[in-house]
Amino acid sequence: MFIEIDRDSDVPLFEQIYQHIKRQILNGEISSDEKLPSKRQLQNDLSVSMTTVESAYDLLLGEALIYSRPKSGFYTVHIEQLQHVKPPALHHKVNRPAEKSYTLPLGTIDTSIVQSDVLKQIAREIFSNDELLNMGDESGEKELKEQIRHYLHINRGVNCSLDQIFIGPSTEFLLEQVLFLLKYPAVTIEDPGYPVVKNILRRLESPVDYAPILKDGIDVAAVHTFNNQAVHLTPSHQFPSGVVLSLKKRIRLLNHASAAESYIIEDDYDSEFRYTARPLPSLQGLDKNDRTVYMSSFSKSLYPSLRLACMVLPQSLAEQYFETGLACNVPRQMQHIIAEFMKRGYLDRHVNRVRKIYREKMIRITEWIKDNYEEAEIYGEHTGMHFMLRIPGKDLRQSAERYGLVHGNSYSDLNSMTDTVLIGIGEKDAEEIVGILKKFFESLKEG
């Protein structure tokens, strides 16, 4: 066997011998069940030490590329040739759909409102605690659940025990878990509505019906007619219309769910940022019959990249969660950072402070529109970080595209929102937003 070895190389000699024989076997240059030179013979041929040869043969044995026959020597195993179906390519080019970037996006915040100095300090403390490096409670940390229970009880009227609270990285993630717990039921959802919800239902092959949004919230009669095992809705601030579900409808939904033994999945989206009157109590808080799954995210109330959300499950679904071995998938340290942030009162203060900032922005912008463009109609300005702007009868698709505004039809399968754009107020300051809208309105007059 001819093996060229390089005594000046950084690669050890045993490694060179091993690599050479391996390559020959894999390339079919040595056929299967062929006898290799004995260790002594190879040692003499190459003028290397016995240890070197032994190390090389041990590696080949370890990878089952050769085998030994007692009192005979070493033989190559039979190895198939690796097939190349396609022309070889080391790095694949992956085509990614272009991401739309908006001038006034809906989910983006002005990051200077977040008290990152406090977060930084708490992170330092939490990362010093080695006890948090092993796994904790798979459903979420007790310390965080305690804070969430208190917060949701005070602010949203939610009533539950700690074991009914489950942590997750996002409401989308939690929704998938709920759909599994409900055995992928048929679901009634809102139209217009949050497209990610539709996406998840499609992905998990749950059948879907659409209920339209009326001025006091989802069309309850439609929900009852569909009579699906679950209805998913955003009662605090319907996305994207901004409509708040009336108390009357809340009660009708709850009573129907009790009678039909179906479930209400309440995504309490944007409930923190209600500017006029007080928020209506959550459906979960009104529910006396365990028909509501409540969920809420910290993406809006704290910051979008946090990836932290929670849900409250009725008793039977909570027990199923534990039995079927679901898991929260949120880093334990991150849970403790937010638990501490809440425990020290920073979340309450943050939400109060930010609510004021958004309210002032919202008033400044919508008043300016009302004063200058009478034909414009504004919806959903009493809650949240965006509002709907409608110019009745006007097709806004082209202008929205041109000014990078979010067009209403992005959120309606029924394309019912041609004359509507959505204005996010989270990222830019009020004067900047007014400036952009001014140009937008002027272009409409020209067009």
38 versus 246: smaller Cβ distance to a second copy:
246
Using CB under 8 A, pick the residue from 1, 50, 154, 196 that binds a second copy: 196
**Residue 244, number of CB atoms within 10 A of its CB:** 23
Positive/negative CA dihedral, 156, 161, 166, 172 = negative
Using CB under 8 A, pick the residue from 14, 57, 151, 173 that binds a second copy: 173
The structure tokens listed for 191 are: 């139209």
CA distance 303 to 119: 12
In this structure, which amino acid lies at residue 326? L
Using CB under 8 A, pick the residue from 111, 225, 372, 443 that binds a second copy: 111
Contact call for residue 304 and a second copy (CB under 8 A) = yes
Contact call for residue 79 and a second copy (CB under 8 A) = yes
Using CB under 8 A, pick the residue from 11, 322, 360, 439 that binds a second copy: 322
Q: Which residues in 306-319 are b (16+ Cβ under 10 Å) and which e?
A: bbbbbbbbbeebbe
147 versus 399: smaller Cβ distance to a second copy:
147
DSSP state of 396: -
Using CB under 8 A, pick the residue from 5, 186, 208, 327 that binds a second copy: 327
SS3 breakdown of the chain: % helix, strand, coil, rounded to 5? Answer: 45, 15, 40
Using CB under 8 A, pick the residue from 27, 49, 161, 227 that binds a second copy: 161
Considering CB under 8 A, how many residues would be counted as binding a second copy? 99
Contact call for residue 133 and a second copy (CB under 8 A) = yes
Rule CB under 8 A: which of 328-357 touch a second copy? Answer: 329-334
DSSP state of 212: E
Rule CB under 8 A: which of 197-226 touch a second copy? Answer: 199, 203, 216
Contact call for residue 359 and a second copy (CB under 8 A) = no
Residue 17 vs residues 32, 59, 209: alpha-carbon distances, Å: 18, 10, 67
CA distance 366 to 288: 39
Contact call for residue 123 and a second copy (CB under 8 A) = yes
Using CB under 8 A, pick the residue from 42, 136, 155, 411 that binds a second copy: 136
Contact call for residue 445 and a second copy (CB under 8 A) = no
Contact call for residue 83 and a second copy (CB under 8 A) = yes
CA 187 to chain centre: 20
Contact call for residue 167 and a second copy (CB under 8 A) = no
Contact call for residue 19 and a second copy (CB under 8 A) = no
CA distance 53 to 337: 56
Contact call for residue 114 and a second copy (CB under 8 A) = yes
Rule CB under 8 A: which of 233-252 touch a second copy? Answer: 246-248, 251-252
The residue length of the chain stands at 447
Least separation in angstroms between CB 215 and a second copy: 10
Contact call for residue 155 and a second copy (CB under 8 A) = no
Here's the x/- map for a second copy, 389-408, by CB under 8 A: it reads as --------------------
DSSP state of 294: E
Contact call for residue 311 and a second copy (CB under 8 A) = no
User: 208: which strand partners?
Assistant: 187
Contact call for residue 315 and a second copy (CB under 8 A) = yes
Using CB under 8 A, pick the residue from 54, 143, 146, 163 that binds a second copy: 163
CA distance 221 to 205: 25
Contact call for residue 101 and a second copy (CB under 8 A) = no
CA distance 238 to 218: 9
72 versus 81: smaller Cβ distance to a second copy:
81
Q: What angle do helix axes 39-46 and 50-62 make, rounded to 10 degrees?
A: 130
Rule CB under 8 A: which of 249-268 touch a second copy? Answer: 251-252, 254-255, 258-259
Using CB under 8 A, pick the residue from 127, 344, 352, 353 that binds a second copy: 127
Rule CB under 8 A: which of 30-69 touch a second copy? Answer: 58-59, 62-65
Using CB under 8 A, pick the residue from 54, 143, 146, 290 that binds a second copy: 290
8 versus 82: smaller Cβ distance to a second copy:
82
Which residue pairs from 157-160 have beta carbons closer than 8 angstroms and sit at least 24 positions apart in sequence?
157/281, 157/282, 157/284, 157/285, 157/286, 158/282, 158/284, 158/285, 158/294, 158/312, 159/284, 159/285, 160/284, 160/312
Are β-strands 165-168 and 73-76 bridged in parallel, bridged antiparallel, or unpaired? unpaired
Contact call for residue 131 and a second copy (CB under 8 A) = yes
